[in-house]
Structure 1
């Protein structure tokens, strides 16, 4: 088992957020709710990359920024109808999920991963 860091993103509707993240090719792994009507907490994954999406108010703050490195930057850009921008440090794009969390996306460089 390898070590990992899993960002937790605060969302108003975890089910709807999981559908938005599916456009980034994240798949639902599991979900948990303490009781019916309680806030939903769920995990989505894209290969070895995992995010937790939480409706629990104390788990994370809104307007979080995460950086995601992908092998298919142009495919992601096309899915969202945006163009990657050339920055001094490389190509990237930034998306904002329906809850205001920002996802900065750049390509995996040769030798990474």
Structure 2
């Protein structure tokens, strides 16, 4: 088994969040509900990078910040119509999901 850390983000509408995270290249892998009308818990993945999106009140807090390192930050910037910011460590864009969770997306600078 490959060990990994998977951030859990609090969301109000998992289906809407899955569509939003698709703009960052994530695809839904699975969804769990204890009963059909209970809150959803969803896994989205971009390659080996996973995020859990949870409608459950106790799983996470709003306004979380996640850093996503990608090979091509320019593609993300185009998708969201944002300028790329130049930082000493990476080229970055900052986006906010529909629930206020922040995602900083960066391509590291070559050394």
Structure 2 length as normaliser, TM-score?
Answer: 0.95
Equivalent residue number for residue 83 of structure 1? 83
Instruction: Write out per-residue CA displacement over residues 87-106 of structure 1, whole angstroms, 9 at most, x where no aligned residue.
Output: 23331111000000000010
Runs of 4+ with >4 A deviation: 108-111
Say how many residue pairs are matched.
111
Structure 1, unmatched stretches of 5+, are none
**Conserved 8 A contact 2:89-2:109:** no
Q: Which position in structure 2 is the counterpart of 1:20?
A: 20
Measured on the aligned residues, the alpha-carbon RMSD in Å equals: 1.3
Partner of 1:107: 107
Mapping of residues 1-113 of structure 1, within 5 Å: 1-110=1-110
Question: How far does residue 22 in structure 1 lie from its aligned partner after superposition?
Answer: 0.3
Counterparts in 2 of 1:90 and 1:72: CA distance versus 1, 3 Å = closer
